[in-house]
């Protein structure tokens, strides 16, 4: 039987399907394509909005939930044999293995496709109701001697978002508001446990010190009710900053997670002080040398 050339790839094949070889037909007619790449997702519990309602991850977890998204958002010719899910910045990448055929005259094959879903974050109805409750704890983030930089704010907010996603099944509370102020961030939560957890996760990511304070705000069922505040002081000192420590002229040579290392400008001796001590009145910031 004489072979014919494919006008697209030039290969000699036994027959053409709608003017092209089978391989080219598969390439131009994928077994799975996204009709809509954007997915509305709750930033707190991880639910997705499909067909007019919010769906949360079930026993099958994220894979089962993304399979429902795929069924709703994609056109599929064949059977899904495997689905891998990887979440990254701003979206979800699906690796979909499909067995099928795009044309009746072509035998089914197995192909793997990579699809990217764009996540649009909002609040589901349940989380919105939870967030309307009165906040019971405040997480304050401040920096000294300088203010929080834009990069530091972005890192802090990224940490918070990641932790909220990790804790979405723990039901330990929600963030009701975030205020951006000149000196830092004020984060209001509906749970003392959540505020404390976030405080110490952020603390581990920066050279910082955490101060916990409690204020009695009432009595319920014979027990005092407290409003907790967690203050994170982030040290923004850098090598070359001059300070006065208990009357001595010092210069910062290093800052690590626990200590600020200072050199006496007169004797050249180096000593270290705990991060929390850098915020006391005994240390006066003089500027950068």
Task: Select the more confidently predicted residue: 215 or 1.
Answer: 215
What gap in Å lies between CA 283 and CA 289, rounded to an integer?
16
Predicted confidence at residue 223, as pLDDT, reads: 64
pTM of the model: 0.57
* Average of per-residue pLDDT across 188-217: 89
Predicted confidence at residue 214, as pLDDT, reads: 82
What gap in Å lies between CA 211 and CA 182, rounded to an integer?
20
Predicted confidence at residue 109, as pLDDT, reads: 92
Predicted confidence at residue 228, as pLDDT, reads: 86
What letter would DSSP give residue 103? S
* Average of per-residue pLDDT across 203-218: 85
Positive/negative CA dihedral, 62, 67, 69, 74: positive
Pairing state between β 79-88 and 109-122: unpaired
Q: What is the pLDDT of residues 170-189, one digit of tens each?
A: 778 788 788 888 889 999 88
Q: With 80 as the cut, is the pLDDT of residue 147 above it?
A: yes
Which of 82-96, 124-138, 209-223 has the highest average model confidence (pLDDT)? 82-96
Instruction: Compute CA 104 distance to the chain's CA centroid, rounded to the nearest angstrom.
Output: 45
Predicted confidence at residue 131, as pLDDT, reads: 66
* Average of per-residue pLDDT across 38-61: 85
* Average of per-residue pLDDT across 158-172: 82
- Name the percent of the chain lying above pLDDT 90: 42
The answer to whether residues 256 and 207 touch, using CB atoms and an 8 Å cutoff, is yes
* Average of per-residue pLDDT across 140-144: 93
Mean pLDDT rounded to a whole number for the chain = 87
* Average of per-residue pLDDT across 50-72: 86
Q: With 90 as the cut, is the pLDDT of residue 203 above it?
A: yes
Q: With 80 as the cut, is the pLDDT of residue 216 above it?
A: no
Q: CA of 153: how far to CAs of 129, 142, 156, in Å?
A: 27, 11, 5
Predicted confidence at residue 25, as pLDDT, reads: 94
Exposure string of 270-284, with b = 16+ CB inside 10 Å and e = fewer, is: eeebebeebbeeebe
Q: With 60 as the cut, is the pLDDT of residue 221 above it?
A: no
Q: With 60 as the cut, is the pLDDT of residue 164 above it?
A: yes
The answer to whether residues 178 and 164 touch, using CB atoms and an 8 Å cutoff, is no
Residue 243 neighbours by CB distance under 10 Å: 22
Counting Cα atoms < 13 Å in the Cβ hemisphere of 135 gives 16
Indicate the length of the chain as a whole number.
Answer: 289
Least confident window among 61-65, 252-256, 263-267: 61-65
Predicted confidence at residue 195, as pLDDT, reads: 92
Paired with 189 in beta bridges are 137, 175
- Name the percent of the chain lying above pLDDT 70: 92
Q: What is the pLDDT of residues 86-123, one digit of tens each?
A: 887 768 899 999 999 999 999 999 999 999 999 888 88
Predicted confidence at residue 52, as pLDDT, reads: 82
The answer to whether residues 209 and 233 touch, using CB atoms and an 8 Å cutoff, is yes
């Amino acid at each position: 039987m004489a072979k014919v050339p494919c006008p697209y790839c030039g290969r000699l094949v036994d027959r053409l399907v709608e003017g092209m070889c089978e391989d080219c037909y598969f390439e131009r007619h994928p077994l799975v394509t996204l009709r809509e790449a954007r997915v509305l997702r709750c930033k707190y519990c991880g639910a997705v909005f499909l067909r007019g309602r919010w769906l949360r991850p079930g026993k099958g977890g994220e894979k089962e939930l993304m399979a429902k998204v795929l069924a709703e958002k994609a056109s599929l010719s064949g059977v899904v044999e495997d689905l891998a899910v990887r979440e990254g910045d701003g979206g979800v990448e699906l690796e979909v293995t499909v067995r099928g055929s795009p044309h009746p005259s072509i035998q089914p094959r197995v192909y793997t496709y990579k699809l990217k879903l764009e996540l649009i974050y909002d609040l589901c109805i349940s989380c919105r109701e939870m967030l309307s409750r009165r906040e019971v704890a405040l997480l304050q983030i401040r920096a000294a001697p300088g203010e929080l930089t834009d990069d530091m704010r972005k890192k802090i907010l990224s940490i918070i978002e990641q932790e909220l996603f990790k804790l979405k099944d723990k039901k330990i509370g929600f963030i009701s508001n975030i205020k951006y102020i000149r000196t830092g961030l004020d984060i209001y939560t509906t749970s003392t446990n959540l505020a404390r957890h976030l405080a110490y996760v952020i603390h581990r990511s920066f050279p910082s010190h955490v101060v916990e304070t409690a204020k009695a705000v009432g009595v319920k069922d014979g027990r005092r009710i407290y409003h907790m505040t967690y203050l994170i002081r982030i040290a923004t000192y850098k090598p070359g900053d001059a300070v006065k420590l208990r009357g001595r002229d010092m210069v910062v040579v290093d800052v690590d997670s626990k200590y600020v290392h200072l050199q006496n400008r007169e004797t050249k001796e180096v000593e270290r002080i705990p991060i929390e001590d850098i915020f006391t009145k005994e240390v006066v910031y003089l500027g950068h040398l």
